[in-house]
Amino acid sequence: MATLSFIAKMPPGSGVVFDFAVDSKLLSWAERVAVYALSRRVAAADEPFQLFFRPPELTEELKNLGFQRTEILGAEEINARYFTDRADGLRIRGGAGRRMGVGGARDSPIPCKISERTSENPELSPICLS
């Protein structure tokens, strides 16, 4: 949380977007199996999953850090926002991961706007814009 605390103290209009894994206790059995398999693969690449969150508690903690706006996207929302009409059919599956956007640093009236997928930004790499 130290990095997020630092970002929360940045000038008005600052924000961040990041992916996170949901606490396995909140997942179905099939989603837990998928997370376990993915965890083994990324650990083998020296990138082990270290943190898992419960979305309501993460939202509260981020607001306590000073973020004015939070937005959590699940697979359905990510697919609607970033993968609609893709010719290759790429989609997010499962419910183990979420994308969090936070913005409007402490005492800032300016909210963070998560960018939409455009022809100039066709990949799933939203950025936080002021």
Distances (CA, A) of 41 to 14, 28, 34, 47, 99: 34, 20, 11, 9, 21
Q: What is the pLDDT of residues 65-118, one digit of tens each?
A: 888 888 888 888 888 888 888 888 888 877 666 767 777 544 443 343 434 444
The b/e string for 83-96 (b: 16+ C-beta within 10 A; e otherwise) is beeeeeeeebeebb
> Confidence class of residue 127 from pLDDT cuts 50, 70 and 90?
very low
What are the structural domain ranges in the chain?
2-106
